[in-house]
Structure 1
């Protein structure tokens, strides 16, 4: 709606500013120096569940109306000896970085009726919708059949995040037959749009990701699902930001111990139904699947970084809660092969319209700034004396009430107009003020920022009578107002979060169920320059209202630049080959026999895919050469005729880093089912067991440029190789990093292999065409 300006009236602004003239008569504000920053935040180390559990996969987090954070995870053990575990875990935390046990979702008395005996429960999603907590969950083995893995998605309700949880009698999304088996009906995630429509996203490897509309109460699907992402993805999560819908999803293997390449990708759309497109303009649904990396293994101890949810602290900063694997301790002590996936937490930056963890640094190990869980001014309304010490009542009354079954103590605003302001200024003009609120049928309730002398301030309120979220400013005798409609289905008598952020002259507000980046309404307003100042915060209502979990804090300072990407140096001709002659240049050698079909012709090295795969016990021919010492970059330009939308498993070609047949890295363009991916994989022997896994980089084309950047870890001497791909040789997508031990001397080279016999019979061998092989040095 348009911005409105009108003269000062009692009805329009008494609750916000009409009483501000009396503030100085009630209490003298405690001044704060302009732009004074909050005290240095505490730090934390990953994993954040250490001391509580060693395994917390597929985490979903929410802040309850009691002000405590709750986390939910796929079932598994609590200790490495496997002596204690849970089918479905609940943890709790007051700060997002120290977690303790809060119980279990299911026990013998409340198991879903359609869950097969002994089944676990996977990949939860938790929401709060109009006064009720909803937990969506995966049942991997149901009573639909006796064959196993016939997954379905269920839903349970509870009055409190810790339960008790009551599952619905029937699945929300039943097992879906596909061919001779069942689709991967897993990994649910709910999303609420600004028109009030709820959507359920789900899916995984097999046929990919889907979305379907939901009933107003979130307990039933409506209509037919829509396919939105390829079979490369699982673990969806959707966030709404700056007019875009962002679809996050994980890709590659989740649970391969020391070779787990799990990575989170994102695409965005102007519509919650898609299409979701990455930074290169590639959709997440097409065969040469798109997706922009958000977090990938970075070469430190954390690998398998994926399946996440998002959390926002009281400064407005967003964090990603995700699981990861310690590559030095990936398996249970008593069960090698069972991959432990504890929960990590890291900052999620938004740069140039795209999310990325720690500006591209990826998972952290230690010394990160902790989320701000308690505001510079903060009140949970459990202590009347503390509330009285924080607030001054300008109009009406603010009294402590409760306990409420969901929130405990809360604040009750009464009187025709009610306004309570903090006695202290927030120390910065850029500020976030938020609170859980609920109103009467015809009243308003919300929060205030930048209030002070001369008369003026900003407020954001839910207006139940007009069914709108409204931002209002007052300065110099005039009100400026802008609103957004709150859609039908919104329960004004249930707790919702109103958040008001002011940065410079831009003020934004939104209303959500539980701060999960799925707003019912949001609005932005440009304020007069005189209101770009420090001031007090507060709560306000007309016709009575209730508030809880109030916080006012300096607004977070966004990170605006990604970490610079590596750049290649000068080409070292001694380790390179332009393939301009009629034969391979000096320095090449073959592991096993030379492949007679591999030839240099027309300025390219052309090599048909072999019917042999180096992974496992395969023995294909490999073309290798010595790698230089120190840091360097390998690059090749590869064209390979894999087509699209056909199953050509697993034809591939690309770059090889080779120690031996059980210790190697392979960066290939590969056909996997109907998708085509740029896969960077690793095979190694760990604790006497062979392990293979891979991660995905950028989307491939008919021609794709591939890079591996080699560095040496300055502390351990390990070899690190970071992968990047490009569709034009200019714009690069940077992906995961694999390591090799310090005490090995790898070879580098090329590979073209892994065509199954059936694939070769049907399509013939794919042809890998390498335009050059270049090694550059800093």
Structure 2
């Protein structure tokens, strides 16, 4: 009897161990990085949207011929091609308002009230004399007779006297149907303003500037370079999504745009309200420097950040971002599915 009992316990233990290993394996591989080809090198701050059978990615940077926001298209999420641009040139009012601006930054694409809205930023590197603007279109299909980007002008701006930077916009609609815009880079971190749901501009009834996330100052923080924010303030590129009654705030920490010296990483926190307070997995508020790692560098790809998310009710949720080739230092688009095990996002960087 004792020998039979031992065998039964042994079999039960082995079966349990197998189930545990299998469960770990499923969890570890529930998210996957896509193998991308085509016109993906050079993609920076990508923002993704799908219309019909085509995915569109908008990115920072000049298009061939000097246009702004080159667009990349795909019908399978693997093979991508350059398929157009948003503007032929920087809008005249931005040239007048910010004459030093040579390219537009950080496009954020959304579909709202039957139209596509593209929030974007203009600025000078390392300065907070910046602005966020809006363009709209009825379709993303370049072959459609209805295709035409309409510049709607300024949404908000920051001045040198402000403690925030009006770049890196992200639109989100909350569970109550209210529209919001998060934004920010360095200075006092990530901010938010309420929007007018009809116009996409700032709300006239709720004029509060909400604070969502900031970095904590290290004890041994180095002094800032002349006329530049200190590196320890580096948090930017906010993106907010709603999942299972939580709002998740994704941000990029540390330094972007430095080739092989880029130290970007993607962090996340969550909240029950779109305006916060957001906390990380340990419960530390993002307003006090909290944040949980989502994407960090590997030996092949450095500085993963500048992320955007596409929530897909009929399939896998997606996160698109850029990372720097460890050999060449050049940025390239990265794409991963999102696994929400434990009500926290999990994503994968490209293979090492």
User: 1:105 Cα shift?
Assistant: 0.9
User: 1:150 Cα shift?
Assistant: 1.8
- What is aligned with 1:347? 337
Higher Rg: 1
Alpha-carbon distance in 2 for matches of 1:61, 1:45: 14
Alpha-carbon distance in 2 for matches of 1:341, 1:308: 13
User: 1:219 Cα shift?
Assistant: 1.9
- What is aligned with 1:96? 77
1:74 and 2:60 correspond:
yes
- What is aligned with 1:167? 151
Q: Mark the CA change 1:85 to 1:119 in structure 2 (over 3 Å): closer, same or farther.
A: closer
Alpha-carbon distance in 2 for matches of 1:119, 1:183: 22
- What is aligned with 2:11? none
| SS at structure 2 position matched to 1:173 | strand
| SS at structure 2 position matched to 1:114 | helix
TM normalised by structure 1 equals 0.36
Residues 198-255 of structure 1 show CA distances to partners (whole Å, capped at 9, x for unaligned) of: 0100001112101111101252111122111114410001111111111111100012
- The structure that is strand-richer by fraction is 1
- What is aligned with 1:295? 295
User: 1:310 Cα shift?
Assistant: 1.6
Please, which of 255, 260, 263 is the counterpart of residue 261 of structure 1? 263
| SS at structure 2 position matched to 1:200 | strand
- What is aligned with 1:151? 130
Q: Mark the CA change 1:309 to 1:218 in structure 2 (over 3 Å): closer, same or farther.
A: farther
After TM superposition, the structure 1 stretch with the greater mean CA deviation from structure 2, 94-103 or 274-283, is 94-103
- The structure that is helix-richer by fraction is 2
Alpha-carbon distance in 2 for matches of 1:257, 1:141: 19
Alpha-carbon distance in 2 for matches of 1:94, 1:45: 14
1:113 and 2:93 correspond:
yes
- What is aligned with 1:413? none
Whether the 8 Å CA contact 1:97–1:345 is kept in 2: the answer is no
For residues 373-412 of structure 1, the aligned pairs below 5 Å read none
- What is aligned with 2:316? 317
Aligned length: 292
User: 1:141 Cα shift?
Assistant: 4.6
- What is aligned with 1:282? 284
Alpha-carbon distance in 2 for matches of 1:102, 1:218: 28
TM normalised by structure 2 equals 0.77
Alpha-carbon distance in 2 for matches of 1:178, 1:247: 26
- What is aligned with 1:204? 185
Whether the 8 Å CA contact 2:279–2:285 is kept in 1: the answer is yes
Question: Unaligned stretches of 5+ in structure 2?
Answer: 1-31, 215-232
Residues 377-431 of structure 1 show CA distances to partners (whole Å, capped at 9, x for unaligned) of: xxxxxxxxxxxxxxxxxxxxxxxxxxxxxxxxxxxxxxxxxxxxxxxxxxxxxxx
- What is aligned with 2:211? 227
Alpha-carbon distance in 2 for matches of 1:45, 1:216: 35
Whether the 8 Å CA contact 1:55–1:77 is kept in 2: the answer is no
For residues 483-632 of structure 1, the aligned pairs below 5 Å read none
Whether the 8 Å CA contact 2:46–2:107 is kept in 1: the answer is yes
User: 1:68 Cα shift?
Assistant: 1.4
For residues 757-776 of structure 1, the aligned pairs below 5 Å read none
Alpha-carbon distance in 2 for matches of 1:255, 1:96: 25
For residues 447-486 of structure 1, the aligned pairs below 5 Å read none
Whether the 8 Å CA contact 1:276–1:284 is kept in 2: the answer is yes
Whether the 8 Å CA contact 1:140–1:152 is kept in 2: the answer is yes
Q: Mark the CA change 1:77 to 1:155 in structure 2 (over 3 Å): closer, same or farther.
A: closer
For residues 17-28 of structure 1, the aligned pairs below 5 Å read none
Alpha-carbon distance in 2 for matches of 1:126, 1:204: 19
Alpha-carbon distance in 2 for matches of 1:292, 1:53: 28
Alpha-carbon distance in 2 for matches of 1:218, 1:268: 28
- What is aligned with 1:474? none
Alpha-carbon distance in 2 for matches of 1:77, 1:125: 17
Alpha-carbon distance in 2 for matches of 1:100, 1:353: 34
Q: Mark the CA change 1:239 to 1:166 in structure 2 (over 3 Å): closer, same or farther.
A: same
Please, which of 87, 108, 111 is the counterpart of residue 128 of structure 1? 111
Residues 93-120 of structure 1 show CA distances to partners (whole Å, capped at 9, x for unaligned) of: 1122211122111114x72512334521
Q: Mark the CA change 1:255 to 1:165 in structure 2 (over 3 Å): closer, same or farther.
A: same
| SS at structure 2 position matched to 1:310 | strand
User: 1:186 Cα shift?
Assistant: 0.6
Question: Unaligned stretches of 5+ in structure 1?
Answer: 1-42, 79-83, 331-339, 367-778
Whether the 8 Å CA contact 2:58–2:70 is kept in 1: the answer is yes
User: 1:356 Cα shift?
Assistant: 1.6
User: 1:313 Cα shift?
Assistant: 5.6
